[in-house]
Structure 1
Amino acid sequence: MNPFSLSGQTALVTGANTGIGQAIAAAMARAGAHVIAAGRSSCAETVALTGGEELTLDFADPMAARDVFSGRTIDILVNNAGIIRRADSVEFTEEDWDAVMDVNLKAVFFTAQAFAKAALARGADAKIVNIASLLSFQGGIRVPSYTASKHGVAGITKLLANEWAAKGINVNAIAPGYIETNNTEALRADPDRNKSILDRIPAGRWGRADDIGEAAVFLSSPAAAYIHGAVLNVDGGWLAR
């Protein structure tokens, strides 16, 4: 048996319409999983890549997935959906605080809760992979709610692992570094910022979305059966610098 295979498994990936979420969905499909690509906008491109199915979920309502796991068997949950709002802390609004915390933290917890309830009712092993951030460990600048939410993702990953590890549910997280996505295009296009970032990354390159996808496959596979509560940095060595 291939310990890295996801054959026969069904994986739900949130925020799977583009970028890291799409790469995770594609990697899961390559590993043999049936993929449900969830997003608030069309995931048609991801479905074409994976041969899976599409599900519309908008985590502006943190309870959007409350009924998703009833009546179907989903073995793997990847909580990837997230948003960011930028402003100086002295100007940051309550609206921007609440919007980010709802999607990035509250929805992560309650989606995991709904998933775990279904898995526990089946008596089945299951895997949860949350997408954290370098800002689960660092402060950042001008992103107070994002930083708070990603610190929270690291914390609830450990909390849920403590509660569910002995019940057959692995809960772990990935902290992506600087990845080549649409969100970082402006940074990569700025020669000074691009150089300053690359100078700090021991690997000497920006990460690729596939780097995160393959890490998610690992944490979802039998090979990671004894990994619980870990936050895996996939950052080219950024945090080690």
Structure 2
Amino acid sequence: MDAKADLKLMGMAYVDGKELLCSECGNGFSLEIHKHGFREVHPAWICCLSCGKGEDSSVVTNGLVDAVLASRAARIKDADRDVFRAEWRGIVMTGEMQPLIDIHQLIGAAKAVHEAAAPEVKRWWRGKKKAAKAQVKQKAGAVTGAVKGKAKEAADAATEKAGEAISTAKATALTTAWTLQTGGAGPTTSSKPKRRRCTVKGCRGGMVTISTRVHSTTGKTSEVKIPCGVCRRSST
């Protein structure tokens, strides 16, 4: 026999309309039923939680316990009671059992956990999304800046080359126009005659430096530049 009860009753249970009671103390409100043996017709073991007495039942069998568990009313909400009415080989048993964990209770527990944790989970995800967006924006800005820098360098190089090409084209056009207008004649070149050096001693650029008192305003000897009378040149 398994130490864990197969059927835990709440309140009074009835078998064929008669109360199911403990034969020792007469209690019928805290009974546990264990399946005893391997055949359906074997009597079930009834244990009283009030006095601790246990015995084989004369009216409840293993087959009746299985019928009770199979016919238990499905609970729709938490407030529903686990009532039952089972029949096995003409024996009818009714009553209420302690609530068992079923799919409805699991769904209700999952909903309660979800409702309690949903706000925290949402806040956590919002923080993660903001951090991810900021990181993506930062990387995108860095890539955009690098692309713009490369594009500016390429544009500057292209502008410089275009300017050089335009200057070359202008020079070529001017040369062609000049050739067409003048027949290819270039500017006349004339050679200037070489300047002859003056033979007067001390003449530099048409001026002669002499030491004299006559031309001095102080009466002292001083050096004065006068025009050369030979080459007639003047520095002015």
Band of TM-score, shorter chain? under 0.3
Which of the pair has more CA radius of gyration? 2
Point out the structure with the larger helix share: 1
Q: TM-score, normalised by structure 1?
A: 0.16
Q: TM-score, normalised by structure 2?
A: 0.16
Point out the structure with the larger strand share: 2
- Select the structure with the greater relative contact order (CA < 8 A; seq sep ≥ 6): 1
